Amino acid sequence: MTSKPLKLPIGIQTFGIIRTEGYLYVDKTKYLVDLIDNGRIYFMSRPRRFGKSLTVSTFDALFSGKKELFRGLYAEEFTNRPDYKTYPVVRLDMSDLTVDMGPDVLRASMLARVKENGERLGVKIGDAAPGDAFSALLKNTAQRHRSQTVLLIDEYDSPILQHVSDHPRIEKIREILKNFYVRIKAADEYLRFVFMTGISKFSKMGVFSALNNLEDISTDNAFAAMLGYTEEELLSNFDGYLDKTALTLEMSKEDLIARIRDYYDGFSFDGKTRLYNPFSALNFFKKREFLNFWFESGTPSFLADYVKRHDLEAENFRGFPTDDEFAMNAEIEHAPPESFLFQSGYLSIREKIGRKLILDYPNMEVMSSVSKLFLREKFEIPGAGFATAELEESLARGDAESIVKTYNALLASLPYDIYERETRKYDAEHAKTGASAVPYAESFFHALLFSMLWSSRVNTTAENHGYKGRSDIEAEKNGYCYVIELKAADGKEASEKAAEAAMRQIREKGYADKHAQNAQKNVTLLGLAVDKKARRVERAVIERL
């Protein structure tokens, strides 16, 4: 008989509440003990809602002597060591600062947080610049308690990320933070342990430029699973929820696990360890529906601004090759798109070979959400601009015609000025080469079709390498496979020929051969021709193998 599962700690970031009020806790305390035993000053970057604040709270409880909270956990043995002792803890949550009202208000807000810690620790802090007050807090706390101090800083970069599109303001904020954080190095003798979290990786020229004794464990294999759930942790800790969810969704437990893996697994920060985002996993077991919980919990405005400013294409970041320092060479507002998307949590390390990394979207939740974001921000299509749920259901039962129907609805929903913008863009590109102007190139229609399929939660890939060439798009849902070749044409007659040519290319290049050999797959070929003037699929040739 399965025991009643513990409550799901959705949105709860306080370790003490989780441990005393009957909530489920996935034991991560081994990593905390290892850090304490083997070093002193650490930094870890992770995307939002990945458990950073809960980790800070757990460190706080461990150093504050709350031994009863660790009974039954790995760290219980640590708290029972003869040399175990408590320390005064300075804890700062930088996401709690007031940033929007200018530098003076930000400084006042930082000073207030320092004073609050001083009051809690019995240390008086006068009205001084935030950096000076911070230095006094660390020194005076150690002296008053006759003990070194533990410093925990959560979301160190939050003030910067709130204004990532406003470069002049960021520079002012960065200087204020830099003057604040530099005091950590000067207070080294007063510090027993330092742990800092954030979303963005710090660069050598940024707010930590003078803090050269800070150890970044963000991509260390030893701590890759410190935040987030591994599949082993998911299966062992959520077994009761898996049983209940399988009954609700009328699926076998094995099929449910496979679908959860496809939809929510795949985050990796070392290229080896695969993780589930805790927020999505917890919400899934509560709602028992495959929804985009993490993305829809509040997509940062800076991501939408970045997509729009940099004219990004969702498909360009599948299997993206880079090196192992790609996220450390620039501050986040100046970072290349792959670094920006990785630090924000929308790209993950799929594979690591030496110093070479392959980036990709971690899972279906992120892929479909990012595609919707790109469609909305780049092409100005509202969330209800086309029937993504209807298309998903249609493709899951082999209805290839629904691709044409939904795609034409998408093209019809595009604002007129988007087409005009694309025309100007491609006119300018062709003018450079002396070629005749071409209204919106094939790549424009290709990107739209790809994003539409992806946002409909259909497993979609582009430019798939075969033994004779590369197919435009391949999509798969529920055992149905769709091999698509898209061509742009001018006028109805040209579209007729283009669609036939597209189908002929699929056949001659053998794009579908690898799928046709799999008896478990139902394969459909689609040769599509988009009339650039009519702005619709004018001709579609569909064949089923």
pLDDT in tens, 355-372: 899 999 999 999 888 888
CA atoms of 497 and 350, how far apart (whole Å):
40
Q: Which residue has the higher pLDDT, 318 or 313?
A: 318
The model's pLDDT over 33-75, given as tens digits with 9 standing for 90+, comes to 999 999 999 999 999 889 999 999 999 999 999 999 999 999 9
Give the Å distances, CA to CA, from 360 to 198, 318, 345, 357: 21, 5, 11, 10
Distance CA 233, CA 231 (A): 5
CA–CA dist 323, 369 (Å, integer): 26
Instruction: Calculate the average pLDDT of the chain.
Output: 87
Residue 1 has pLDDT above 50, yes or no: no
- Residues with Cβ within 8 Å of 423's Cβ and at least 6 positions away in sequence, in order, are 437, 439, 440
E strand or H helix at 294 = helix 293-296
Percent of the chain's residues with pLDDT above 90: 54
Closest CA to 206 of 244, 177, 246: 177
What pLDDT, on the 0 to 100 scale, is given for residue 209?
A: 65
Domains and CATH numbers, the chain: 15-223 (3.40.50), 229-378 (no CATH), 382-545 (no CATH)
Q: Are strands 470-477 and 480-489 parallel, antiparallel or unpaired?
A: antiparallel
- pLDDT category of residue 374 using cuts at 50, 70 and 90: confident
Per-residue confidence band for 140, with pLDDT thresholds at 50, 70 and 90? very high
Residue 480, strand partner residues: 477, 522
Lowest mean pLDDT segment, chosen from 10-14, 89-93, 166-170, 242-246: 166-170
Average pLDDT over residues 384-410: 84
382-393 pLDDT tens trace:
654 456 778 889
Give the Cα separation of 128 and 445 in Å (integer). 58
Q: Is 464 exposed, middle or buried (0-12, 13-18, 19+ CB in 10 A)?
A: middle
Looking at per-residue confidence, does 211 or 101 come out higher? 101
Residue 2 scores a pLDDT above 60: no
* Number of CB atoms found within 10 A of residue 374's CB: 24
For residue 86, give both structure tokens.
């408590």
pTM: 0.87
Residue in 347, 348, 349, 344 with CA at minimum distance from that of residue 332: 344
Cβ–Cβ under 8 Å, residues 174 and 200: no
pLDDT digits (tens, 9 = 90+) for 430-485: 666 665 555 567 788 888 888 888 888 888 887 766 667 788 889 999 889 999 99
Residues 78 and 331: their CA atoms lie apart, in Å, by 38
Nearest to 359, CA basis, from 369, 349, 346, 374: 349
Is the backbone of residue 24 left (phi > 0), alpha (psi -120 to 50) or beta? beta
Q: Of 97, 91, 65, which Cα lies nearest the Cα of 79?
A: 65
- pLDDT digit string (tens) for 494-510? 999 999 999 999 999 98
Residues 181-222 have pLDDT tens digits of 999 999 999 999 999 999 887 555 466 666 667 899 999 999
* pLDDT of the residue at 384: 45
